[in-house]
Amino acid sequence: MNSHDSQVGNAGRVAGLVVFCVVVGACTAGRARQPGEREVIKSTTNTAAQDPSATGERAPAVERASDAVRVTTTAVGNDSHAPNGTDKPTLLPGEENHVNSRGQALYAKNCALCHGDAGDGGGKFAYLMNPRPRNFQQGNFKLSTTQNQIPADDDLFRTISNGMPGSAMPPWGHLPKSDIDALIAFVRRVHINATREALNEWVSDGKIEKNELPGVLTARTTPGSALVVPPETPFDEIRWFRGRRLYLENCASCHGTDGEPVADEVKFDAEGYPVPPRSFVQGIFKGGAQGHQLYARIWKGMKGTPMPSSEGVYTGDETWDLIHYVQSLMRQGAQERAQLKQGTLVAPRVAEALPDGPMDPSWEQARPLYVGLTPLWWEESRIESLLVQALHNEEELAIRLAWIDPTIDDRAVRHDEFRDAVAIQFSLTSDPPFYMGSAGEHGGVNIWMWKADRQTNIAAGYQDVDAAFPDRAVDRYPEQDYRLVDMTVTEWPHEPIAKHDPLFITAWGAGNLVSNPGLRTPIECLVARGPGTLSAKPATVQIVEGQAVYERGLWYVQLQRSMDLPHDHARVSGESGDERVFKPGDYLPVSFAIWNGSAGDRDGKKNISIWQKLVIE
């Protein structure tokens, strides 16, 4: 498959691209704050020493920090997913080894392809993402609620549970609390082990004494004291004016005078990757858009990024004025829509025939499911969501997808042309890994992909290079049956590809579906058993049918296939058990991906969902 045709190669990065950067939680827990009482973001506390590695000077001995008293005032950032505090439960003998092994297994299944086997942020698919997956070894967690910006367990718990809108990090709140705790322990172990190795080098270089190493290690890997958030001030026109003044003086040079980022102000993070400023108008914040969440970002900055700390620059009231002004720029509901959620798509049984197209009125009897999407490579002009419906009549299953797209992109011939497309990924197991299945017997995925250019090829004729370059020179192929009229004709006629012999159109002759002008369906059926194994089914067993309609800025696509497979399907395709068989009563994972051609989407550059559940009644 060529580069255009492999757009689905990463369809289904949908259960999660885990970036364990820290985020403050979504809501305030506990009792209402009393007048004058300060908000406190809870954490276990130890004071961290300044990292001396930047100067190369000898590090001073670090005094052991005393444990702080647990904060009992209102905890900012706690939510229904997070534990009430950060005290770790006492583990019985042998339990710690179990937690470590469980965390390592969960990490390998769900996290390593992005964050890397060693936790260095260099996973196989990290190149597809911006923001990049977090490097746990360095410990530059962007978001935290502690004074030393080393995240508390609550911070990590919220990030894993809720995900991180504005990045490819999805929510993992469906995991049991014990599993999330095991992942937290594993991430901390990666950071501690890498820090210990770096400090051993310091000892070898004479930067610190050997007996100082334990104290420095503790200071560099232990969460510090809680960040104290002062009471929120009222918001009125005068405070809006003050917030606007502060914004123009301190923020507009990067984030723009109107809240849209300045294109030329792209800076770089601690690892050298570009970090465009966040759009406040779009209203999507990695750490949350509520007041106490923004306070933590402004006051402490974002570690490892160009976002500086403003601690001591503003008073508490000024910080709240700035927060309220930024919130006034936000598009309403954007943060909530960007929060990926897991839903259930129900396919009811109908007695009559299934809809004969995506605009058939009978689709009204199918309840739609709203599915949020996120781009792997974050951009503001993304496909935000789609609506999905499903029906079956015990013989066939039909699925309709609809999404907003302001342009039609139905040709992918030139080097700068990319198609609109959508894909559905069905898991062959009830507990799939987050991406493209696995190599186990039942660990594969089955993908149905609709392509706008293929539908145009079927309706209006195959779009070859002649369509994009009508004035190109044409060679004569020996199988073409024509002769020049006389010597005054100097150019061979431009014959459609279908009149050629596949022997001389090598991709077509080799069975590449993209180059086959005789395909009768715009839907391509593909299978995979782990990353790097994606392959299309042969043309003789491409039995998924469908069609699409573009109307008033929306694509409507219907995909349809027999619930069972033809009896000779496995023999003809040469594979057994690599396509999903459906039956009433099924409850199976399904996910979605959309490519927006006008945004340059192709291959792994796309908008993806997390796993949803499909119920076939």
In 465-588, alpha helices (H)? 465-468, 506-509, 569-573
560: domain range?
A: 345-458+528-616
Q: What is the largest CA-CA distance in the chain?
A: 99
Q: Which strand (E) or helix (H) includes residue 615?
A: strand 612-616
Q: Name the token pair of 315.
A: 């008073």
Instruction: Write the CATH number for 243.
Output: 1.10.760.10
Lowest mean pLDDT among 80-89, 161-170, 434-443, 574-583: 80-89
Cβ-contact 85, 70 below 8 angstroms: yes
* Separation in Å, CA 271 to CA 53, 120, 149, 196, 208: 16, 11, 18, 20, 25
Length of the chain: 617
- Structural domain contains residue 466: no
**Residue 131 per-residue DSSP state:** S
pLDDT by residue (tens digit) across 540-560? 889 999 999 999 999 999 999
Same domain, 168 and 263: no
Tell me the three-class secondary structure of 56-125, residue by residue. Answer: CCCCCCCCCCCCCCCCCCCECCCCCCCCCCCCCCCCCCCHHHHHHHHHHHHHHHHCHHHHCCCCCCCCCC
At residue 217's C-alpha, the angle toward residues 211 and 222, to 5°, is: 140
Provide the pLDDT for residue 225: 94
- Considering the domain architecture, whether residues 431 and 283 belong to the same structural domain is answered as no
CA within 13 Å, CB half, 573? 22
Distance CA 273, CA 375 (A): 18
Which of 185, 200, 225 represents a domain boundary (last residue)? 225
Note whether residue 11 is domain-resident.
no
Whole-angstrom distance, CA of residue 133 vs CA of residue 378:
12
C-alpha–C-alpha distance, residues 466 and 474, integer Å: 9
Same domain flag for 160 and 240: no
- The Cα–Cα gap between 323 and 94 comes to 47
pLDDT tens-digit series, residues 254-296: 999 999 999 888 889 888 988 889 999 999 998 899 999 999 9
**Residue range 223-230: average pLDDT?**
93
Contact 373, 384 (CB under 8 A): yes
Convert the pLDDT of each residue in 343-401 to its tens digit: 999 999 999 899 999 999 999 999 999 999 999 998 888 899 999 999 999 999 999 99
Residue range 578-597: average pLDDT? 95
Least confident segment among 13-27, 147-161, 299-313: 13-27
Provide the token pair at 260.
Answer: 């849209």
Instruction: Report the DSSP pairing between strands 445-451 and 523-528.
Output: antiparallel
Relative to beta strand 369-372, strand 385-392 is antiparallel
Q: State how many domains the chain has.
A: 3
SS3 (DSSP) at 557: strand
d(CA 437, CA 356): 32
**Does any domain span residue 9?**
no
Q: 413-427, 458-472, 556-570 — which one is most confidently predicted on average?
A: 413-427
Amino acid identity at 367: R
CA 552 to chain centre: 28
Q: Which of 173, 191, 225 is the last residue of a domain?
A: 225
Task: Look at residue 264 and give its three-state secondary structure.
Answer: helix
Are 611 and 429 a contacting pair, CB within 8 Å? no
Please say if the pLDDT value at position 37 is more than 60: no
Average predicted confidence (pLDDT) for the chain: 82
Instruction: Read off the pTM.
Output: 0.81
In the numeric block, the tokens 């194994």 are attached to 533
Residue 475 lies in a domain: no
> pLDDT by residue (tens digit) across 14-24?
333 333 233 33
CATH of the domain at 554: 2.60.40.1190
Q: What is the pLDDT of residue 569?
A: 64
Give the pLDDT of residue 29.
35
| Together in a domain, 40 and 177 | yes
Indicate whether 56 and 186 sit together in one domain. Answer: yes
Looking at 225, 259, 292, the residue that finishes a domain is 225
Phi, psi of 295 (to 5 degrees): -60, -45
Q: What is the mean pLDDT of residues 243-261?
A: 95
Residues 193 and 267 both lie in one domain: no
Give the pLDDT score at 438.
83
pLDDT reported for residue 572: 55
Residue 488 lies in a domain: no
Q: Tell me how far apart the alpha carbons of residues 492 and 510 are, in angstroms, rounded to a whole number.
A: 26
Give the C-alpha separation, 271 to 140, whole Å.
10
* φ, ψ at 433 (rounded to 5°): -65, 170
Look at residue 474 and tell me if it is in a domain.
Answer: no
Strands of 223-366, DSSP E: 228-229, 267-268, 274-275, 344-347
- CB-count burial class (<10 Å; 0-12, 13-18, 19+) for 607: buried
169 in a structural domain = yes
C-alpha–C-alpha distance, residues 306 and 552, integer Å: 41
- Which of the pair, 431 or 589, is modelled with greater confidence? 589
Domain presence at residue 436: yes
Residues 171 and 201 in one domain: yes
DSSP letters, 356-384, are SSTT-GGGGGSPPEEEE-EESB--SS---
Query: Does 276 lie in the same domain as 263?
Result: yes
Which of 289-293, 300-304, 440-444 is predicted least confidently? 440-444
